[in-house]
Amino acid sequence: MPPPRFGLEGHVAALEQVSPRVTSMRIAVDGPPLAIAPGQYVALTLPEQKPRDYSLSWRSTPGLLEFFVHDHGSGASRFIAERLRVRDRVFLDGPFGTMGLGLAHPGPLLCIASSTGIGPVMAIAEAARELHPAREVQVYWGATNAEDLFLIDDIASAVPPEGSLILSAEDGEPDSAVIRPGTPLDAVVMDHRSLEGWAVVAAGPPRMVEAAALLVESLGLPMEAFHADAFFTQKDKQSPHGR
């Protein structure tokens, strides 16, 4: 993993609403490009906000970092949705995180993401395609509302040729051939009786990540083959960490 750097500066290069509740935020880093690895995150300080951790999307480059932010109705996420502007100055430290260690596993890779957790998860899935083109990669991604499954064509194109993308939404229609009703974990249970020999990465809200850990362990996965990133909001935990 690349070593973190501290005291970096940059600016907001672009803001795009990719779904009714999700914003793509792109940050241009001043100075030398930032070495990053799949599945990592940075501590980002926005104007008038405390430092918070934001996970890098698969579309990030060393000079232009992208983060997907779900508007939870308060705090930093609401600030980004309503008040952040292009060219605003930011400060950042990082990158941090070891979720990408799942790439070292030689067997098939199962990726589980809820909401904006698809950003770092797809970074790992895409890297798996580059490292091992024939490796089986399955991506299970879901959201509370189907309309918040964003950039689906881009995500599908980043899945390895030998892989698959399984979509789910809690408000999904039972007869839909594209989006299953329920959660990503419901879909995993439907498709898998055993995960022996697999590696699993998961990213999303803490409850989903905790439930994913219990599920994959019950399906025979050793915990050393499970790598996760939990996104804490201000409502989840009173700390400066959360996405």
Element (H, E) at 122: helix 118-131
Alpha-carbon span 123 to 60, nearest angstrom: 9
Name all contacts of 81-88 with Cβ < 8 Å and 24+ positions apart.
81/23, 84/12, 84/15, 84/25, 84/46, 84/47, 85/12, 85/15, 86/12, 86/13, 86/14, 86/15, 87/11, 87/12, 88/11, 88/12, 88/46, 88/47
Residue 232 has what pLDDT?
52
pTM above 0.85, yes or no: yes
User: Does pLDDT of 100 surpass 80?
Assistant: no
One-character DSSP codes across 125-181: HHHHHHH-TT--EEEEEEESSGGG---HHHHHHHS-TT-EEEEEETT--TT-SSEEE
Residues of the chain with CATH 2.40.30.10: 5-96
Q: Say yes or no: domain 99-230 is CATH 3.40.50.80.
A: yes
Residues of the chain with CATH 3.40.50.80: 99-230
Helix and strand counts by DSSP (H, E) for the chain: 5, 12
pLDDT band at 50 (very low <50, low <70, confident <90, very high): very high
User: E-strand spans in 71-114?
Assistant: 89-96, 109-114
Residue 166 has what pLDDT?
96
3-state helix, strand, coil in the chain (%, to 5): 25, 35, 40
Alpha-carbon span 218 to 155, nearest angstrom: 29
Residue 243 has what pLDDT?
45
Q: Give residue 21's Cα distance to chain centre.
A: 15
Range 61-75 average pLDDT: 94
Residue 28 has what pLDDT?
98
One-character DSSP codes across 180-210: EES-HHHHHHHH-S--TT-EEEEEESHHHHH
- Largest Cα–Cα separation, the chain: 51
Percent above pLDDT 90 for the chain: 74
Quick one: fold of 5-96?
A: Elongation Factor Tu (Ef-tu); domain 3 (2.40.30)
pLDDT band at 230 (very low <50, low <70, confident <90, very high): confident
Query: In this structure, what are the phi and psi dihedrals at residue 27, rounded to the nearest 5 degrees?
Result: -120, 125
Alpha-carbon span 108 to 81, nearest angstrom: 37
For the segment 191-206, what is each residue's pLDDT rounded down to a tens digit?
Answer: 999 999 999 999 999 9
